[in-house]
C-alpha cells in the first residue's frame, strides 16, 4: 500500500522529515505495511510536483528552503506549478503565524476539501482556527494529528489520547519550551543573568537570533492552548491565555528559589474551574518533589492529572528539528497503521 504525501514548507524540520522517510523506508514497509511517496512540496515560489514521487535523495543535496526547490526544479527541468492538494496526507511545515494562521490555514482547508488527512507541525493555523479546522475535518472525513505542534518529540497528545483513553483529565501542567527551560537551568546552575544565559543558548544554536516567542512565553502558550482545546473541549484563543514570560526573571529570583529548596520554571497549566477552562503560562517556583522540578537543559515535560489514574508524567523529547520531524512521521504512521 502506498500513501502519497504533499509537504508544505521546506525548512529545517521538513528537510529532517525527508531524511527520516529515506532512512526508515524499509522499516515502515516491513513493520507497518505501507510505503510513503512524497509527490509534491510547496514553497514560496510554488510547488514542485511529480506523480511518481520526488527524488528525495537528490533533493537533500540541494539544501533547504525555496532555493533548494528552485535548484531541484532547474536540475530536473521540472517547472513550478500552482499548489495541487491531491494525495493521502498533507504534512504542514510552514513557519508558524499566530496572527493569521496563514499560509498554513489555506493549505489545510484546501487539502481537507479533497479528503486528505492532515499532520501539522506548524502551530499558527491550529491556534488561530482550531474549531474551524475540526469542523471542516469532520465534514470532509479528514483526520487531524498535530503532535509536532504540541512540544514536538514529547508525546503530549499521544499520552492524553491513547494512554489516558477513558480517563477524566482534570489538569495539565507542562514545561513545553526547551529554549526557555535551558535559559532558566543555565541561570540556576551557573549563577548567570538572563542575558548571559540567552547569549550561551544562541551560541549553541538553541535560541533563535530573535528569541521573543520563546522568552516571552508565546510558544509555550500556543502549545498549552492546543492541549486545552483538544482535551477539555474548549474553544479558547491565544488572547484567552494569561501569559507571563521569563524576560523579567533575575538571577536573584533564581537564587532565592534555590535557597528555599525550590526551582524556578516556566510552567504552562490548563484546568477547569467551574464551567470555565483556565489556561496560563508563568514562571513558578516548584517544590523539589514536583515531577517537573528536575527537568533541565532543553528537555520538556508534561503532567496529566486524572481522576482514574492519578498523575501521569512524561519527561524528555528532543528540542531540535529532527525531534519535530520524528513527531510528524510518527503521526503519519499512526494514521495509517490504524487502517492497515
Query: In sequence order, which residues have a C-beta less than 8 Å from that of residue 163 and are 6 or more positions away?
Result: 312
Q: Give the C-alpha separation, 270 to 164, whole Å.
A: 16
One of 128, 223, 265, 300 is an active-site residue; which one?
223
Query: All 3 cell numbers of residue 206?
Result: 538553541
Residue 275: per-residue pLDDT = 87
Q: Dihedral (C-alpha) 50, 54, 58, 59: value to the nearest 10 degrees?
A: 100
Tens digits of residue pLDDT in 300-319:
999 999 999 999 999 987 77
Residue 205: per-residue pLDDT = 87
Q: List C-alpha distances in Å: 42 to 33, 104, 114, 252.
A: 27, 11, 17, 48
Phi, psi of 37 (to 5 degrees): -125, 115
Q: Longest Cα pair distance anywhere in the chain, in angstroms? A: 66
The sign of the CA dihedral 116, 121, 125, 129 is positive
Crossing angle of helices 25-32 and 321-337, in 10° steps, is: 30
Element (H, E) at 117: strand 117-120
Domains of the chain: 2-153+322-337 (3.40.50.720), 157-317 (3.30.360.10)
Residue 309: per-residue pLDDT = 97
- State the Rg of the chain over Cα: 20
Query: In terms of pTM, does the model score above 0.85?
Result: yes
Element (H, E) at 180: helix 178-190
Residue 340: per-residue pLDDT = 45
Element (H, E) at 245: none
29 belongs to the catalytic site: no
The cell 511518481 sits on which residue?
52
Tens digits of residue pLDDT in 81-139:
999 999 999 999 999 898 899 999 999 999 999 999 999 999 999 999 999 999 999 99
* Residues in the chain, pLDDT under 50: 340
Residue 338: per-residue pLDDT = 60
Amino acid at each position: 500500500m502506498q500513501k502519497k504525501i504533499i509537504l508544505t514548507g521546506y525548512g529545517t524540520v521538513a528537510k529532517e522529515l525527508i531524511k527520516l522517510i529515506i532512512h526508515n523506508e524499509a522499516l515502515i514497509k516491513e513493520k507497518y505495511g505501507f510505503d510513503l511517496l512524497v509527490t509534491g512540496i510547496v514553497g514560496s515560489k510554488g510547488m514542485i510536483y511529480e506523480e511518481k514521487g520526488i527524488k528525495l535523495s537528490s533533493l537533500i543535496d540541494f539544501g533547504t528552503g525555496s532555493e533548494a526547490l528552485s535548484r531541484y526544479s532547474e536540475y530536473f527541468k521540472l517547472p513550478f506549478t500552482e499548489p495541487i492538494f491531491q494525495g493521502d496526507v498533507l504534512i504542514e511545515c510552514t513557519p508558524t503565524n499566530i496572527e493569521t494562521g496563514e499560509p498554513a490555514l489555506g493549505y489545510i482547508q484546501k487539502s481537507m476539501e479533497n479528503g486528505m488527512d492532515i499532520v501539522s507541525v506548524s502551530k499558527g493555523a491550529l491556534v488561530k482556527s482550531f474549531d474551524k479546522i475540526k469542523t471542516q475535518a469532520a465534514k470532509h472525513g479528514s483526520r487531524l494529528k498535530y503532535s509536532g505542534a504540541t512540544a514536538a518529540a514529547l508525546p503530549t497528545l499521544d499520552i492524553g489520547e491513547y494512554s489516558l483513553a477513558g480517563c477524566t483529565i482534570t489538569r495539565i501542567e507542562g514545561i513545553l519550551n526547551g529554549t526557555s527551560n535551558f535559559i532558566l537551568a543555565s541561570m540556576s546552575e551557573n549563577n548567570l543573568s538572563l542575558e548571559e544565559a540567552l547569549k550561551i543558548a544562541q551560541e549553541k544554536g538553541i535560541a533563535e537570533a530573535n528569541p521573543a516567542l520563546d522568552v516571552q512565553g508565546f510558544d509555550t502558550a500556543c502549545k498549552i492552548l492546543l492541549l486545552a482545546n483538544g482535551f477539555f473541549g474548549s474553544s479558547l484563543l491565544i488572547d484567552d491565555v494569561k501569559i507571563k514570560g521569563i524576560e523579567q526573571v533575575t538571577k536573584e529570583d533564581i537564587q532565592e528559589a534555590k535557597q528555599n529548596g525550590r526551582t524556578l520554571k516556566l510552567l504552562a497549566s490548563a484546568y477547569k474551574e467551574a464551567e470555565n477552562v483556565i489556561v496560563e503560562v508563568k514562571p513558578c517556583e516548584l517544590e523539589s518533589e514536583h515531577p517537573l522540578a528536575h527537568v533541565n537543559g532543553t528537555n520538556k515535560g508534561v503532567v496529566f492529572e486524572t481522576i482514574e489514574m492519578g498523575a501521569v508524567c512524561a519527561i524528555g523529547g528532543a528540542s531540535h528539528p529532527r525531534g519535530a520531524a520524528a513527531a510528524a512521521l510518527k503521526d503519519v504512521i499512526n494514521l495509517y497503521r490504524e487502517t492497515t
